[in-house]
A and B are shown apart, each in its own frame.
Chain A
Amino acid sequence: MNQEEILQKLKGILQPFVKNQEAFINLTEDTDFINDLQINSANLVDIVLDTEEVFDIEIDNISMEKMVTIKAALEIINIKLSEK
């Protein structure tokens, strides 16, 4: 899976929870799930669970703590994929 494929899959996971569509269209690595995409904080759990399912990885609590931006999410997915 290349980086573009990972990003596209991540966007697919985020999409149903996004409240600010404009920020989603203009998404960058620095895009913040809560402040920019205005995702409800309770839905971050769903995003973590969906990410685990889609990529077949396990996201531990320490990793989950950091999963609040695109950049952090991509880093965590890459690390967990490499550990498989």
Chain B
Amino acid sequence: MIGNDIVDLALSIKESNWQRKGFLDKIFTLQEQSQIHSSENQNSMVWSLWSKKEAAYKIYNRESGIRKYNPIKFECLVSENGKVVFENHVYFTRTEITEDYIYSEAVEIIGDFERIKNITRPEKIQKKNGIPSYFDAFDSSIRPLSITHHGRFERIITITSFPNEILILKKLKL
């Protein structure tokens, strides 16, 4: 399964003041906070960890149907780059950090990163309990979608049935 989250850094500066008293305590574990404070670019670290938690939460929310606002419990493991742990669930995340945005993707099996496909907004998005999917005419299946938009940026991803290279071979009918 997949999850993603994007933060428009220009908008986050306007909308969120993470230096506000109590803000970090509500969202980040003590280890994460110390990682933030020892970071050269603290703002970037805050939103990087935040987007990893959000991307991992989207997988949990889709699979459990449970809706909770508990980012502090999705713990980014400092020593294990990209791993996010919640209760007995483990998620793997990867994060793209630029000057304009920070973008994270989460999967449950590392190999699934290879199956993530960026798509433009499909025509028929179905939403069940707020969780999106769409019908893929190519292989007549309902595919999960993860959609994130913030400010100037939007990313929509799906997960293909096969790793991308096999899909390309299939499309070429090789």
Contact = CB atoms under 8 A, between A and B. Distances in A.
Interface of A: 17, 35, 40-46, 48-49, 52, 61, 64-68
Contacts of B22: 49, 52
Interface residues of B, number: 21
Contacts of B69: 41, 44, 64-68
Contacts of A64: 26, 69-70
A74 to B, nearest CB: 16
B20 interface: yes
Contacts of A48: 26
Interface of B: 7, 12, 15-17, 20-23, 26-27, 50, 54, 67-70, 72-73, 130, 150
Contact of A65 (B16, B20, B27, B70): B70
B1 to A, nearest CB: 19
A61 B25 CA distance: 10
A61 B70 contact: yes
Contacts of A44: 69
A64 B71 CA distance: 10
23 contacts: A35-B130, A42-B7, A42-B15, A43-B16, A44-B69, A45-B26, A45-B27, A46-B17, A46-B20, A46-B23, A49-B20, A49-B21, A49-B22, A49-B23, A49-B26, A52-B22, A61-B26, A61-B72, A64-B26, A64-B69, A66-B68, A68-B68, A68-B69
